[in-house]
Structure 1
Amino acid sequence: MTGDRVALVTGAARGQGAAITKRLLQDGFRVAACDVRMDELRATIADLGDEVIPVELDVTSPEQWQAAVSQVVDRFGGLSTLINNAGVLHRCSLDDETPEAFESSWQFNCLGPFLGIKAALEHLRRAAGPAIVNTVSTGAIRPFPNHAAYGSSKWALRGLTQAAAAELVGAGIRVNAVFPGPIETPMLDPATQQRLTATLGRIGKPDEVANVVAFLVSEQASFMTGAEVVVDGGQCLRIG
């Protein structure tokens, strides 16, 4: 086993992924920041030092997952931590939804994390204190109108997290989930952010999600697996 802490973070070019990358670097991790937006990704990590590398990754591609993990292991000597943060928000009524758009949400939000776990598993088994965190959503706790594709894909990711936690507990690999509510990221357009702020008082900051992810992959959470941590400012309690 290796004691090096090496994390792969998807969706790292902006928002929560960028915040998670920065927080893990502060905690002493070496980080592979992964995204398809390579220009934006390189700009995001430009001033973060030599302990982070940009990696191009389309999370729906098994081949790109294998290449990304190989690149990380070649550079850092191992992989101990997987943060499946990349996802897409797709809103559409059931009347207007298409099979193609519905399936695309599932590919990004559930298939992608599965492919990541599968690609990383061999290296996680050899690491010290291995951990996986999946970014789910409050949309996997309660239903929201016009979110059939997004909500069902996140419900599926919630189930994948539980199944993986149960299967991998014997290998010492912890698998947990964070459930963000409305967070101030490019995923939410300004009008939506303003509407949710008016309802909730404020929306969350990416750092507030990153802090929870950092805890879940730390030794302080060493007895936690299959946990579901909601970071929503009370959204699920306050919206009728």
Structure 2
Amino acid sequence: MSGLVEGKAAIVTGAGQGIGLAIATVLREHGAKVALVDLDGDRVKQAAADLGGDVLALTCDVTDEQAVDRVVREAVEEFGGLDVHVNNAGITRDASLRKMSADDFDEVVNVHLRGTWLGVRAASAVMRDAGHGSIVNISSLSGKSGNPGQTNYSAAKAGIVGLTKAAAKEVAHKGVRINAVQPGLIRTAMTEAMPPDVFAEREAAIPMKRAGEPAEVAGAVLFLASELSSYMTGAVLEVGGGRLM
């Protein structure tokens, strides 16, 4: 059987590590040509070298309008088109409402929400003209339920859902699909940095009684990127082991 995205051209932001790298890896394994995009140039080059094959390593600050447009342009020039675009880049600046600075709020909202909007706008412009394409935005279950200490992150991740639905309605008639994935507790460098007792407490509250792996999020993204989801747009898939259902 050929890959689910055989011959397709894809961009994945925040692809230097964690969930982004897992997404880039599974798209590559299923036959896509992939542009790995990250703020950390050295890390993304190494990730691309490890993947091998038809891959491109690009450095980009997703909050920079010109930089996002350039990345899309370079990927299209290299691959001859753009079929899949995954907006995954993100950061955290956790603090209680009382202690969070306005800068910490702005920075997180800018990377997640503005960054995703810029990616959606640039990718959909190319895809509209081509008459097809799939954009996948990475939200979070924090955007569904709200996490204490994450008013910035939860607000941005909830915003991504609204953005996904509004944009999906705008471009559906052009053959472009836009969906979102909401991961729950996933084992990454970001969550491994949590205090062990907090991690254990959150894990115990999950019906499946375990944290997820980055590859399990990547599987949902692969589904949305492929023709298996050809009649889905504006949807939000939860990948959280039943947490907050």
TM class by shorter chain equals over 0.9
The secondary structure found in structure 2 opposite 1:141 is helix
> 1 CA distance for matches of 2:234 and 2:163?
10
Cross-structure match for 1:162: 165
User: How far did 1:88 drift?
Assistant: 1.4
Change (3 A) 1:106 1:217: same
User: How far did 1:34 drift?
Assistant: 0.2
Change (3 A) 1:47 1:98: closer
Q: TM-score, normalised by structure 2?
A: 0.91
Identity over aligned residues, as a percent? 37
> 1 CA distance for matches of 2:166 and 2:142?
19
Question: Does structure 1 residue 222 correspond to structure 2 residue 230?
Answer: yes
Question: Does structure 1 residue 10 correspond to structure 2 residue 13?
Answer: yes
Contact 1:4 1:80 in 2 (8 A): no
> 2 CA distance for matches of 1:34 and 1:166?
27
Q: What do residues 173-230 of structure 1 show as CA deviations (whole Å, max 9, x unaligned)? A: 1000000001111121152544433443210000000000000111010000011100
From 164, 171, 174, the counterpart of 1:171:
174
What number of residue pairs does the alignment pair up? 235
Question: Does structure 1 residue 196 correspond to structure 2 residue 202?
Answer: yes
Q: What do residues 136-185 of structure 1 show as CA deviations (whole Å, max 9, x unaligned)? A: 00011112211111111111111100100111111111000000001111
Question: Does structure 1 residue 207 correspond to structure 2 residue 215?
Answer: yes
> 2 CA distance for matches of 1:215 and 1:80?
14
Amino acid at match of 2:217: V
Aligned residues: CA RMSD: 1.6
Q: What do residues 20-41 of structure 1 show as CA deviations (whole Å, max 9, x unaligned)? A: 0011111111000000112111
The secondary structure found in structure 2 opposite 1:31 is strand
Moved more, 185-194 or 168-177: 185-194
User: How far did 1:4 drift?
Assistant: 5.0
The secondary structure found in structure 2 opposite 1:236 is coil
The secondary structure found in structure 2 opposite 1:120 is helix
Cross-structure match for 1:61: 64
> 2 CA distance for matches of 1:18 and 1:217?
16
> 2 CA distance for matches of 1:236 and 1:89?
21
User: How far did 1:126 drift?
Assistant: 3.1
> 1 CA distance for matches of 2:20 and 2:111?
15
Amino acid at match of 2:190: M
Which 4+ runs in 1 deviate beyond 4 A?
Answer: none
> 2 CA distance for matches of 1:103 and 1:56?
22
From 20, 29, 33, the counterpart of 2:32:
29
Q: How does 1:124-163 map to 2 (within 5 A)?
A: 124-127=127-130, 129-163=132-166
Cross-structure match for 2:3: none
Unpaired runs of 5+ residues, structure 2, are 1-5
